[in-house]
Chain A
């Protein structure tokens, strides 16, 4: 065991002025351990509405905002959480790059270190590392409102005196203390003071001095030498520095010297600073009552239980999709009727030329209206996922699924991005940044698009509501909806196994995951997130989907036949540009039972999968007597060929189309995100493979169900 010796005290002598940044716009960073409330505080300080949640790793990118007080402005950056200054994951790398000023980024003028009042000793480790870098620091002690309930008390003035930095208690959730923090930020910016330097044990000081002497004249100060000595992995800026100054042999020598003093070089800093933190907290932090068996502990006994935990997790998912389907069904039906009435109303505007009426009624209302009809489901889905995220259940789901995930070479941490992907694959892909092992991260990233996201929901609901429910009832509809979501998860496991074990030949990474306390979701944040998601969905419908709908309408409307009035709508569409294109590509999808219109819909939806709903709204316009797009689909018949007059959307065709949509990676935004987070070859690789799998699965589904006579 390492010998922990030397009483460590903060050396008040030598505390000097920090080199203030000469740039007029001051740069402040919010830094702290994961899930300590940085983003909630950031939102309070800036008035912004960045995503928050109750699990480690919600923020994986830096977010920039501005704060002002009495006409003075400053830039504030919310960083992903990190436990110390040695980056283990991509999100920690992002945080520390901002701290060390990577890529010519402006180094911070001030660091606001956010700590959890309920776990001060651990959080102080990072604070002491920041202090050692000699940048001005303010300590924001968050969750102050919960301190009394936990049976603890903290002497803030004594803490401030010992650390040599301002200490401000805040409650980011309630906003208490935020104004005082803001005032302190501007005070510290106007008269920056470096904190008291840390008095390291003599042997660390002498090693730092010795190494510094060897490289006199370089940019390496004592603090940077300590970072180089103690870190297992370096930030990108320190990597550059090591290469530029060629100091690797000196670092090795320094580590050998540390070992001679009985410390493991990678453990030395933690052990020394931990001991220092406990000394600082002597008489500062007082525990009044024992709160070991709190509600979180009692709930965890059930929710992370080997049997009950898995059962509960397995129940939550179908209940969620049952609620999604049944709660939204009446509103969706109302919106469908409203869209149809709007379409009929627009058809009566006889003062407009016929093509304009068709564009409005069939192109815009039929296309965009068809997609917007499913807004209630998007809202309910985001609300339910938000409940899971904010309650702290995500970490428990990761815990109970760890054993299952380990069978395909992943660990429970991969479950968090996968669960997030039920809402949208893009934050899911980004959330993989919290995974330590690069190959495990890449595997998780590549299987994430298989999880059914909210964009698939309109397609599922349209087809299930139009074809499955009328024949088999609402319960069958909910089961189909759940099965489609399950299909992606079930395929993700063998896909992960193949990628991890066969392609990357990577071993199992053991799970280490912090478990946050359970908390009641805050409805304000939850509704805000649901509102943002709904707005984003509506914006997408108002831009991309309008554009695609208009293009599809134009291709389906032109060329206009000279004897247009004599031709019915179906024949006109058959002769259009789109009709010709559809007939050209239909043979590819014929084995899956798709007609030319579905084939066109599938092709048009490669940029965004919900576009297929808009395309079908344009290509299957409501005939006389039909009330909704669902009815139009039910009544659609084959125009020619061997199946002429038969319904297009039989059970085998509808299920085959659902399976295709469930497995195909029709999302340009996800493709770009995967490429940005890994490489284009991986993005294009999964795109090709998943398209091929989706086609094959659709063909097998159609042929099998047809063989059963469904």
Chain B
């Protein structure tokens, strides 16, 4: 019998591909930017999806669509929920 296993993997936000979804794990950007991002809803625990991969990228964080410079995305760690593996 095949079973699917849910795995958690961490990566930087700028490494996510188009349409990939994740949960924000840590916002480690410079303090002024981090405060701004959190105020706009991009904070630990928020769900995020990449809508546009260029620079600046467009992401959808919960219900907020925002443009973010890729240099800033490097400082945001996200947690991906992947379904993989057979046993």
Contacts and interface: CB of A to CB of B under 8 A. Distances in A.
The prevalent SS among residues of B at the interface is: mixed
B36 A88 contact: yes
Interface in B38-53: 38-41, 43-46, 49, 51-52
Contact of A514 (B26, B33, B64): B64
B49 A402 contact: no
Interface residues of B, number: 36
Interface string B31-73: 1111111111101111001011011101010111111110110
A271 B44 contact: yes
B13 interface: no
A514 B62 CA distance: 13
Contacts of B40: 83, 122, 512, 514
A86 B27 CA distance: 18
A513 B66 contact: yes
Interface size class of chain A, counting residues whose CB lies under 8 Å from the partner chain: 35 or more
Interface string A490-517: 0000000000000000001011111111
A399 B70 CA distance: 12
Contact of A436 (B36, B69, B72): B36
A685 B59 CA distance: 41
A590 B51 CA distance: 57
Nearest to B51: A297
B58 A2 contact: no
Interface in B10-24: none
The residue among A275, A436, A511 with the most chain B CB atoms within 10 A of its own CB is A511
A232 B31 contact: yes
Interface stretch (A100-108, A298-306, A650-658): A298-306
A266 B37 CA distance: 12
B27 A515 contact: no
Contacts of A515: 58, 65-67
B30 to A, nearest CB: 9
A517 B27 CA distance: 26
A227 B56 CA distance: 32
A436 B39 CA distance: 14
Nearest to B28: A264
Contacts of B65: 296, 514-517
A297 B68 CA distance: 16
Interface string A44-82: 000000000000000000000000000000000000000
Given A266-B31, A267-B44, A436-B32, A304 B62 contact: no
A511 B60 contact: no
A104 B39 CA distance: 28
A119 B52 contact: no
B45 A399 contact: no
Nearest to A232: B35
A292 B60 contact: yes
A125 interface: yes
B43 A271 contact: yes
A511 B63 contact: no
Contact of A84 (B39, B63, B67): B39
Contacts of A412: 56, 67
Contact of B39 (A120, A270, A398, A510): A270
Contacts of A137: none
A403 interface: yes
Given A270-B39, A271-B45, A512-B36, A119 B63 contact: yes
The residue among A266, A270, A301, A403 with the most chain B CB atoms within 10 A of its own CB is A270
A51 B7 CA distance: 50
Contacts of B63: 118-122
Contacts of B38: 266-267, 270-271
Interface string A113-132: 00000111110010000000
Given A88-B35, A232-B32, A399-B56, A274 B43 contact: yes
Given A1-B44, A2-B44, A266 B66 contact: no
B69 A512 contact: yes
Contacts of A395: 67
A556 B37 CA distance: 61
Contacts of A125: 39, 41
Interface string A205-237: 000000000000000000000000000100000
Contacts of B64: 119, 122, 514
Contacts of B68: 510-512
A327 interface: no
A411 interface: yes
Given A232-B32, A510-B33, A402 B71 contact: no
A37 to B, nearest CB: 15
A4 interface: yes
Contacts of A267: 27, 34, 38, 43-44
Given A4-B45, A122-B62, A411 B69 contact: yes
A402 B51 contact: no
A403 B32 CA distance: 21
Given A86-B39, A514-B40, A514-B66, A306 B58 contact: no
Contacts of B32: 88, 232, 436
A658 to B, nearest CB: 36
Interface string B68-87: 11011000000000000000
Counting from the closest, the 3 A-B pairs by CB-CB distance are A83-B39, A510-B69, A122-B41
Given A120-B63, A266-B38, A512-B37, 15 more contacts: A83-B40, A119-B63, A232-B32, A267-B27, A271-B38, A271-B45, A274-B45, A301-B52, A306-B54, A403-B56, A512-B66, A512-B68, A513-B66, A515-B66, A515-B67
23 contacts: A86-B39, A88-B36, A118-B63, A121-B63, A122-B41, A125-B39, A232-B31, A266-B34, A266-B35, A267-B43, A271-B44, A271-B45, A274-B43, A274-B46, A402-B56, A402-B67, A412-B67, A511-B56, A511-B69, A512-B69, A513-B56, A513-B67, A516-B65
Interface of B: 25-27, 31-41, 43-46, 49, 51-52, 54-56, 58, 60, 62-69, 71-72
